[in-house]
Amino acid sequence: GSIKQTIRRTTPIQLTKAQRKNFPGNIQKYKLMGGRPEFHNVDRNRHGRIFEPWHTFEIVITSSKNNCWITVKNKGWNYRTVFHSHGGNVGYRDATKKTEACTQRVAENIARKLKRLGVTCAEVTFRKMMKVETCLQAFQSIGLQVTRLTHIPRLPHGKSHKPRKLRRV
């Protein structure tokens, strides 16, 4: 059934000690979702795995004056997006989305999800310098290692021209 129906189910889910010890993901979220795995909506390969042990992940930080978006891509699987997060996703609205605290929460959210998947290190790329330092601090506090830090600025292509003269009528 739907997620709402599984959440409404009243019978609690019981896990054995062995299941709890080897559980992939967040146990509380698993119980809350009524026995549905946490990453139930993430694409899997033909072996039923979200990623292979040799895959590398890239975290793309896109930031603007008003918000911060973080996307996690699987480099070993044609740069497929695994999941992403942004200010509204972690409970911030309107003007609070531009704060440092919001950026911190978004980065912690992404780092926590990666840890639950079993990823320990990832590469980070970004375009704008703003808010990147906060994200890196959050990754470090959760225990996610950054193997490569790449700055890809938007550079103008071709020659720089003087803009054409305004047309006066």
pLDDT, one tens digit per residue, over 1-55 is 566 665 565 567 788 888 877 766 667 777 777 766 666 667 777 777 777 778 8
Token pair for residue 78? 């044609």
Cβ atoms of residues 56 and 123 within 8 Å: yes
- pLDDT given for residue 163 in this prediction: 84
Determine the Cα–Cα distance for residues 80 and 57; give it in Å rounded to an integer. Answer: 10
- Alpha helix locations (H) across 9-119? 17-21, 27-32, 100-117
Q: For residue 28, which phi and psi values (nearest 5 degrees)? A: -60, -45
- pLDDT given for residue 162 in this prediction: 83
Alpha-carbon Rg for the chain, nearest whole angstrom, is 20
Nearest in space to 11 (alpha carbons), one of 36, 39, 34: 34
Token pair for residue 145? 């290692």
Nearest in space to 7 (alpha carbons), one of 43, 47, 28, 35: 35
Contacts (Cβ under 8 Å, ≥6 apart) of 56: 74, 75, 76, 122, 123, 147
Check: pTM over 0.75? Answer yes or no: no
Tens of pLDDT, residue by residue over 63-75, are: 988 999 999 998 8
CA angle 6, 70, 97 (to 5 degrees): 85
